[in-house]
Amino acid sequence: MDKMPKWADVILTPLISLILAMAISALVILAIGESPWMALKTMVTGALGSSYGWGFTLYYTTNFIFTGLAVSVAYHAGLFNIGGEGQAAMGGLGVALVVLALPWPHWALALPAAAAGAALFGALWALVPAWLQARRGSHVVITTIMFNFIAAALLNYMLVNVLRPVGSMDPASAAFPPAAHLPKLSEMALGLGIEWGRNTPANITFFIAIAACFLVWLLIWRMRLGYEIRAFGKSEPAALYAGISPLRITVLAMLVSGALAGMMAVNNVMGEAERLVLNAVEGAGFIGIAVALMGRNHPLGVFLAALLFGFLYQGGGELALWTSIPRELIVVIQALVILFAGALDNMVRMPLERLFAALRRKGA
């Protein structure tokens, strides 16, 4: 089976998928009568050319790290968690309930509590599909899709009927108290005497996201549970034979996955909007799928892929601002990445495997 060196599998296949996705996106841009080169330049300048751009890019990156990690942890257990969107939305509810429940004296106290609330709500939202998959055999993909819609309806109900302040017409919660304001990266930089990224939403949650990457690596590759998760994902009968409980692994993997997706809310609800609004997740849950596929389900890969999508997301906004290309271009790129890195993986891989086989024959 060893047809390709490991580095080629880890680096070349995602890279080629990305290049294919970009090439087709360039064709799409050409087809709508714009210059792909100018589009790329606008995106790079807008997203990476200034500390202002970076402040937004890192904010989006933070979201995508959480949702990407969520998808990849479930993926290691052989589960396709497509419900990151709903879990992140419920995480938002958890954050809002925690922050609005008590008069928090300082953000340093509110942050762990809110993060716990986000993780708990996200995890609970993943628990039912996980349990149903393990106990009743209902497919986790379908149930998590359904739970996305149920979460949207539930959130809509909570915002309109419960959390909306008296007298407000807006379906949104009350604004969070100023004491619960999370430090922005720009404010932290200013504290060090550096002028960086004024008025950008990137905040301290970015570091939590990086810590989450490390913790997921620790969990998956250095802990017993992670080993069991991977064993279960590779072969269920073998895992069963080794005494690994399918129910336990399915539920635990989905709980971790849901908690990670929920944690995203610390960034977008507490760190940015500072209140809970409708559709706060804005599709980040689904981008997590592309991020995990692109990053080969490894935390380092997820981090890099999240950075890439953060750049695309911010760059896409700039495109819509400066050119006549709508920001939906990003959705197309996202779809193509999912297509090439996920569904058409074999199409990318087969020629590569043949190439390496030919090289080896020549070398031998």
In angstroms, the CA 23 to CA 29 distance is 10
Rule CB under 8 A: is residue 330 a binding residue for other proteins?
yes
Rule CB under 8 A: is residue 336 a binding residue for other proteins?
yes
- Which x/- pattern, by CB under 8 A, does the window 161-180 give for other proteins? x-------------------
Residue found by looking up tokens 């509810």 in the block: 93
The smaller minimum CB distance to other proteins, of residues 124 and 215, is found at 124
Least Cβ distance, residue 249 to other proteins (angstroms)? 20
Least Cβ distance, residue 73 to other proteins (angstroms)? 17
Local structure of residue 162 (DSSP, 8 states): I
Angle at 312 between CA 183 and CA 35, to 5 degrees: 140
Rule CB under 8 A: is residue 32 a binding residue for other proteins?
yes
**DSSP string computed for 187-211:** HHHHHTT----TT---BTHHHHHHH
For CA atoms 9, 14, 19, 24, the dihedral sign is: positive
Local structure of residue 244 (DSSP, 8 states): -
Give the Å distances, CA to CA, from 199 to 133, 187, 312, 351. Answer: 44, 9, 20, 47
Rule CB under 8 A: is residue 93 a binding residue for other proteins?
no
Rule CB under 8 A: is residue 146 a binding residue for other proteins?
yes
Q: Report the chain's C-alpha Rg in angstroms.
A: 21
The smaller minimum CB distance to other proteins, of residues 99 and 123, is found at 123
Rule CB under 8 A: is residue 128 a binding residue for other proteins?
yes
Q: Which amino acid does the sequence have at 241?
A: Y
Q: Which segment (35-43, 56-64, 130-138, 220-228) binds other proteins by CB under 8 A?
A: 130-138
Least Cβ distance, residue 108 to other proteins (angstroms)? 36
- Which x/- pattern, by CB under 8 A, does the window 96-125 give for other proteins? ------------------------------
- Which x/- pattern, by CB under 8 A, does the window 283-302 give for other proteins? ---x--x---x---------
**DSSP string computed for 95-139:** HHHHHHHS--S-HHHHHHHHHHHHHHHHHHHHHHHHHIIIII---
The smaller minimum CB distance to other proteins, of residues 160 and 175, is found at 160
Rule CB under 8 A: is residue 305 a binding residue for other proteins?
no
- Which x/- pattern, by CB under 8 A, does the window 1-30 give for other proteins? ---------------------------x--
List phi, psi (to 5°) of 120: -65, -50
Rule CB under 8 A: is residue 321 a binding residue for other proteins?
no
H or E, element range at 312: helix 299-322
Least Cβ distance, residue 173 to other proteins (angstroms)? 16
Start-to-end Cα distance in the chain: 18
Least Cβ distance, residue 211 to other proteins (angstroms)? 29
Rule CB under 8 A: is residue 210 a binding residue for other proteins?
no
Rule CB under 8 A: is residue 237 a binding residue for other proteins?
no
Structure tokens at 188: 């932290």
Residue found by looking up tokens 């997203």 in the block: 47
Rule CB under 8 A: is residue 141 a binding residue for other proteins?
yes
Rule CB under 8 A: is residue 145 a binding residue for other proteins?
yes
Q: Please give the distance of CA 215 from its chain centroid, rounded to a whole number.
A: 16
- 184 three-class SS: strand
Cβ burial of 162 (10 Å; 0-12, 13-18, 19+) is exposed
Least Cβ distance, residue 37 to other proteins (angstroms)? 18
Give the one residue of 218, 347, 358, 359 binding other proteins; rule: CB under 8 A. Answer: 347
Chain contacts with other proteins (rule: CB under 8 A): 28, 32-33, 80, 82, 128, 132, 136-139, 141-143, 145-147, 149-150, 153-154, 156-157, 160-161, 286, 289, 293, 324-326, 328-336, 338-339, 342-347
